[in-house]
């Protein structure tokens, strides 16, 4: 069954590796822009306008060599800098906490600083990766972007976090998986370079949700069975009928609030795949399908999900064999190949095969 979402006009045509990637789907902001509450509607409209401007700038960035594999550095080195945009438009803003500096009075700064360090350590300790490019690229993040800005994004150069409007959204550093999600967009940019459109764009979003969730689990030392598998838990204020932005465990259940457009539209199976031109072809919606596949793999294998399940996904995006316009089926086949290469055709391979089957995606090379 194909369920259409509202259309948003002409599509942009992203390039491999080029990505202005936000955590909040535009269709949520569009619904909020129609709110009877002027504070809510004004903030949502301003955020949509800001995102359109930032996306235009991001797609004009020339990034030569992003797809070329980086020569690994001899020693992993974490270098992160947090900037304050002072509610303005200019990025990155002023340095407020360079790497190695003590915590400051601003909680947003400290949370962003800690989340970048946590995500760096996940990639380093679990997968031997030295920063997002594999070669100790410094990590820059800006907080307090614009006023009442309801989003967070990776623009090809840095991570940026808004404060939220205080009516619907809290500030975007409150959930550690949000900075980890945006940082993973950078990892994808430097590895698989998945085009931010249609199924490849949904895979791009899903990979960020997967490793965002893994970063939270890594911080809490939770097993796959113990984890909540929510993305952005705590980002909504208590007035909103929502537990998070997305759920990998149960796509379609993260929120149900009329101000957000009603029920979370994410499908968990190809039978409910959404055909739309909105949101770059439904990248934040259809990502529910590969998200749920990963959840099924992780719980099927058991234990700490960043170990075997995460390793299979990491091997897939770093294999160099994934097409930038990969479909879900392409990705399923690649994860099966990665599982077989690392673990053989035992429990891990069978968990991957079963998971993709359960979400209606064939990993069989014959279709």
Q: Which residues are catalytic?
A: 182, 284
User: What number of other Cβ atoms are within 10 A of residue 82's Cβ?
Assistant: 30
Length of the chain equals 367
166 phi and psi angles, rounded to 5 deg? 75, -10
Q: Are strands 246-247 and 230-231 parallel, antiparallel or unpaired?
A: antiparallel
CB 138 within 8 A of CB 73: no
Q: Are strands 256-257 and 246-247 parallel, antiparallel or unpaired?
A: unpaired
CB 66 within 8 A of CB 17: yes
In DSSP terms, 231 is beta-bridged to 246
3-state secondary structure of 231: strand
348 phi and psi angles, rounded to 5 deg? -65, -45
3-state secondary structure of 96: strand
CB 168 within 8 A of CB 259: yes
Rounded Cα distance between 150 and 285, Å, is 18
Rounded Cα distance between 315 and 343, Å, is 12
The sign of the torsion formed by the CA atoms of 198, 200, 204, 207 equals positive
Rounded Cα distance between 82 and 59, Å, is 24
């Amino acid at each position: 069954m194909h369920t259409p979402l509202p259309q948003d006009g002409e599509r942009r045509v992203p390039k491999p590796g080029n990505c202005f990637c936000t955590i909040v789907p535009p269709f949520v902001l569009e619904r909020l822009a129609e709110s009877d509450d002027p504070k809510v509607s004004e903030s949502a409209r301003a955020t949509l306008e800001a995102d359109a401007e930032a996306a235009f700038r991001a797609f004009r960035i020339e990034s030569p060599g992003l797809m070329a594999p980086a020569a690994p550095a001899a020693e992993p080195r974490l270098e992160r800098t947090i900037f304050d945009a002072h509610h303005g438009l200019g990025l990155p803003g002023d340095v407020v906490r360079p790497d190695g500096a003590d915590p400051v009075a601003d909680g947003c700064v400290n949370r962003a600083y800690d989340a970048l360090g946590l995500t760096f350590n996940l990639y380093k300790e679990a997968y031997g990766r030295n920063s997002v490019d594999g070669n100790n690229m410094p990590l820059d993040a800006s907080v307090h972007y614009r006023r009442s800005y309801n989003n967070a994004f990776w623009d090809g150069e840095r991570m940026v976090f808004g404060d939220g409007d205080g009516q619907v959204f809290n500030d975007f550093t409150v959930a550690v998986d949000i900075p980890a999600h945006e940082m993973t967009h950078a990892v994808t940019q430097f590895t698989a370079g998945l085009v931010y459109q249609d199924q490849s764009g949904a895979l791009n979003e899903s990979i960020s949700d997967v490793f965002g969730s893994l970063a939270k689990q890594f911080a809490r030392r939770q097993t796959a069975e113990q984890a909540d598998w929510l993305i952005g838990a705590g980002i909504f204020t208590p007035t909103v009928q929502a537990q998070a932005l997305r759920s990998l465990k149960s796509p379609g259940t993260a929120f149900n609030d009329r101000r957000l457009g009603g029920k979370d539209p994410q499908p968990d199976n190809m039978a409910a795949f959404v055909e739309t031109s909105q949101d770059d072809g439904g990248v934040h919606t259809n990502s529910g399908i590969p998200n749920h596949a990963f959840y099924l793999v992780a719980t099927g294998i058991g234990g700490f999900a960043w170990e075997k399940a995460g390793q299979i996904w990491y091997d897939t995006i770093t294999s160099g064999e994934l097409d930038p316009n990969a479909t879900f089926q392409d990705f399923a086949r690649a994860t099966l190949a990665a599982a077989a290469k690392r673990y053989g055709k035992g429990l891990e391979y069978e968990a991957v095969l079963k998971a993709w089957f359960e979400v209606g995606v064939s990993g069989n090379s014959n279709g």
